[in-house]
Amino acid sequence: MTGTGGTTTALAGDAGDLKEIVSISHEPDCAFTALALTLFALSLGHAIDLNDGEYNHHALAWLTISIFCCVVGITSPKWTAVESFCRRWLPAVLALGIADQAFYLLQRMRSDPHITLAFCTITVLGLLQYLHLRGLRWPMLAIMVASFFIAGAIAFNLHSKDPRIDVFMFQMNGCWALIHKFNPYTFRYPSMYPPGTPFYGPGVVDSRGYLTVGFPYPPLSLFMALPGYLLGNDVRYSHVVAMGLSAALIAAARPGRIAALAATLLLLMPRSIYVLDLAWTEPFLVLTFSLVMFCVCRWPQALPYALGLYFSTKQYTILTLPLLPLLVGGPRHWRSLGTIIFKAALVVVAINVPFIILNPHEFFRATLVFQFLQPFRWDALSYLVFMRKKLPGIPTPLWISLLPLVVIIPLSLRRLPSSPAGFAAAVTVVHVLFFAFNKQAFCNYYYFVIATACWSIAAANFPTARPARLLAA
């Protein structure tokens, strides 16, 4: 790996010649953006903590504050005085944010002393990351991740053994179908909800009470859930490992106190246990995104394959595709980008095509058509709900969620630095606006953008200040 200017380039030998594989851009990042995204993560954490990620006026107000912080963070110009201030105070703001989130999380967990002890351990060791710990940092991070594993496993085993939610049922039955050699996309799943449920659109539930669609997620999420099912008879063991590993990757990407504090912020997200209890699949998405970011920072050669896994995890990852130019730099910018996308596409094909071949109609009905059949949810933490409640006479088509992206995607490409942190910041703002104007927007979706914001903070590479005497010269 060689570095030239603002770019890190991965090279490989091919018949005695050096052939460029991946060229990652590392332009200097903005400390103001990192500070704004810290405030974004904190305010969005408050939004989903108020009503479990469902709609109410106070939660919508906090969502608005978080979006304001995010948009301002990516659009504001760099001012030297502001940058100096933000760099100086970013670790302190992260530490205060950890204390703030820990307070709300522990308020919910105080009925169980074992979970409380585990999260108290994470909080104390996380706050200590503010100090320059040197050799102690990694042992303390390992204890924090292990404490999260313990807290999560206790939580869903003692307090949410059967969460009675369809995403848990889909994964448990899908794993059963897979190991018994049934196609999970033609397998028929029972409806968890009574007839006339508002959770499914027309034609999704038949007269027998079974769903007319198969497993509604890409197959990689089922493969990732399978170890938990096989080893512990509960897919949430895979989820809790994914959540802990994501935080560990954040801390490992840019070793130091800012990355360690950002990892702690993710572990202490106020509704992290709620996301785990209900078995939402976003922890797998956060893990594959974390693999992408880790490869960008530490292992560029593996980036195309990590991207292939990421794009194979959830349907809405397609929104990330136009943001990939922020990652790639060097004299062969577009060639390198094309190589990355081509190799990532091969991974996507290798994972999905075997299931498509088995029954293309059922595969696409479950993974694509079903998403369009899903009804508008009045409990979603979305501006569409507010608009329909306050302005019932004004049409609010569901495609309105794409309108903000028409502006924010080119704005992100123009304003953000071409760097790992700039890319993660763009993923954050694009997805949070997509969710905030969508027909369905809940705690799990916002957990993902809190994670991407933590990644942007951790991956930031601030320019080194020059000594005053050199500036004078």
pLDDT digits (tens, 9 = 90+) for 444-454: 999 999 999 99
Say what the pTM is: 0.93
Which 8-state DSSP code applies to residue 367? I
Mean pLDDT of the chain: 90
In whole angstroms, give the CA distance from residue 234 to residue 175. Answer: 10
Helix axes 236-253, 282-298, angle to 10 degrees: 20
**Res. 472 pLDDT band, cuts 50 70 90:** very low
- Which strand (E) or helix (H) includes residue 25? strand 17-25
In whole angstroms, give the CA distance from residue 426 to residue 423. Answer: 5
Report the range of poorest mean pLDDT among 290-294, 323-327, 346-350, 373-377: 373-377
**Res. 219 pLDDT band, cuts 50 70 90:** very high
Please state the rounded mean pLDDT for residues 400-413: 91
In whole angstroms, give the CA distance from residue 461 to residue 473. Answer: 26
Q: pLDDT tens across 325-370, in order?
A: 999 876 678 888 999 999 999 999 999 999 999 999 999 999 999 9
pLDDT at 7: 52
Tokens of 295: 């490869």
Tokens of 132: 């320059």
Is 15 a residue whose pLDDT tops 70? Answer: no
In whole angstroms, give the CA distance from residue 285 to residue 423. Answer: 16
In whole angstroms, give the CA distance from residue 466 to residue 397. Answer: 53
Q: Are 385 and 392 in contact (CB under 8 A)?
A: no
Q: Are 441 and 380 in contact (CB under 8 A)?
A: yes
Q: Are 449 and 433 in contact (CB under 8 A)?
A: no
Is 297 a residue whose pLDDT tops 50? Answer: yes
pLDDT at 464: 67
In whole angstroms, give the CA distance from residue 104 to residue 56. Answer: 18
Contacts of 392 (CB under 8 A, 6+ apart): none
Is 275 a residue whose pLDDT tops 50? Answer: yes
Please state the rounded mean pLDDT for residues 147-167: 94
b/e burial code for range 237-267 (CB count within 10 A of at least 16 → b): bbbbbbbbbbbbbbbbbbeebbbbbbbbbbb
